[in-house]
Structure 1
Amino acid sequence: MNHPGETRTRRRDAAENRQRILDVASMLFEKHGVEKVSMNQLATEAQIGPGTLYRHYRNKSELCLELIKDNVVILFEDIEAYLEQHKGDMPRQRLKGVLSIFIRFRETKLQLLTGVEEGADRSRTAAGRRNPIYDQLHEVFTALFDEMNTAGQPSPDSVFRSDLLLTVLRSDTYLFQRNVRGLSPESILEQLCLTFCP
């Protein structure tokens, strides 16, 4: 039977380990980039065993998501507030506003968001879920595309359009457009609007 003092000590140690992992991961990711940092390197730098690290985070994707979770909450609060403030606007205009908010988020959290995506790609479920961020965005985009569809007019399926839009917003495609094609974030936004909400 565990003594109450032992249980508190274990919880405190676990919380300290978790915070140490997050601090070290944040520092290493900032210095070297998410892709170049291994889980073993994280465990070594945090001065914990690999088993302790994996008990807290199964992979770098989970760790990246943990590091940006507060920012993700703020992102969706900003999106919700924007949609509420502009509920009288045309759905195309609101989609452009949501895309603008997300592109700003992508630019500021590029490394961590890429890390979240990479882990989600390797561990997709049978349902094909990408990651929690994109699942929420998918709901927002689908609702806006549904509003754009007018009765009697032929239009692409809203879910399909949302899938395509999220594919374009993924780090690999986004960075290709930005770094290889030379488009600025503003130009990417304009091209997305021309393509998805003409």
Structure 2
Amino acid sequence: MSDRSLRRNDDKISAAILQTTESLFSKYGVENVSMHQIAKTANVGQGTMYRRYANKGDLCMDLMKDHFQDLQDSVRRFLESAESLSVKERLLAVFQELIQFMEKHMHLFETIQSSPIIRCEHTKTTFYKSPPYVFMHSVIASLLEEAIRSETARPVDADFTAHMLMASINPKVYIFLKKEKGYTTDEIIKKFSTTFLEPLFIE
């Protein structure tokens, strides 16, 4: 078998493992799914499984990488097609994408955060230096800088403000607002815009 064929086969196996993992995590919760169960359901051998993923933390990280890549691609496509919109409209749309992303994958965020054992913290890269966070921060800061240059936004520190905006709607906060406070996703988006975004802009 050629190297290309081997890589293609490896990719198919990894994709099957990740698809099975997310399905099982969503149905039973991370804590209640074993590596053996994932391998058996994905129809791969234990050795094959552990060569790719040493533990559920590794699986979790790969799942989130794939999902975050989808989010980044979606944000890029939107920004490329939305140049005619105001910065305020684009900024709100980016946060809508982020909040909808958290809603779609809330079960995974929730189980990761609720288990001190499975927190995916074995990675040496801190969350704030991770590619997904750096990407989203860069997008938000760039939009704020554009608004400041055009004098449609107040002269805030774009870098600092982008960090604070992201911190205000992180997955832990989102899950709390949904589960404990009973807000709908649409209500969270609307209140986030009213509380944090609109005051930045000059009417």
TM-score calculated relative to the size of structure 2 = 0.70
Aligned-residue sequence identity (percent) comes to 23
- Displacement of 1:41 after TM fit? 4.4
The answer to whether the Cα contact below 8 Å between 1:177 and 1:183 also exists between their aligned partners in 2 is: yes
Equivalent-residue separation in structure 2 for 1:93 and 1:10 (angstroms): 46
Equivalent-residue separation in structure 2 for 1:167 and 1:124 (angstroms): 21
Q: Which runs of 5+ in 2 are unaligned?
A: 114-118
Alignment of 1:46-57 (within 5 A): 46=42, 47-49=45-47, 50-54=49-53
Indicate the residue corresponding to 1:181 in structure 2.
181
- Displacement of 1:173 after TM fit? 0.8
Instruction: Find the partner of 2:22 among 15, 26, 39.
Output: 26
Task: Name which structure has the greater RCO, CA cutoff 8 Å, separation 6+.
Answer: 2
Structure-2 change in CA distance of 1:136 and 1:37 (3 Å): farther
Instruction: Find the partner of 1:97 among 93, 97, 101.
Output: 93
The answer to whether the Cα contact below 8 Å between 1:60 and 1:115 also exists between their aligned partners in 2 is: no
Report the residue type matching 1:176 in the other structure. F
Q: Which runs of 5+ in 1 are unaligned?
A: none
- Displacement of 1:44 after TM fit? 5.1
Equivalent-residue separation in structure 1 for 2:57 and 2:176 (angstroms): 29
TM-superposition CA deviations, 1:150-170 (whole Å, max 9, x none): 67x974421121112222222
Equivalent-residue separation in structure 1 for 2:62 and 2:157 (angstroms): 34
Report the residue type matching 1:83 in the other structure. A
TM-superposition CA deviations, 1:54-92 (whole Å, max 9, x none): 279971333213543663354224432453241xx2x22
Alignment of 1:88-127 (within 5 A): 89=86, 91-112=87-108, 118-119=119-120, 122-123=122-123, 125=125
Report the residue type matching 2:20 in the other structure. V
Indicate the residue corresponding to 1:165 in structure 2.
165
Matched positions, count:
188
The answer to whether the Cα contact below 8 Å between 1:82 and 1:98 also exists between their aligned partners in 2 is: no
The answer to whether the Cα contact below 8 Å between 2:137 and 2:162 also exists between their aligned partners in 1 is: yes
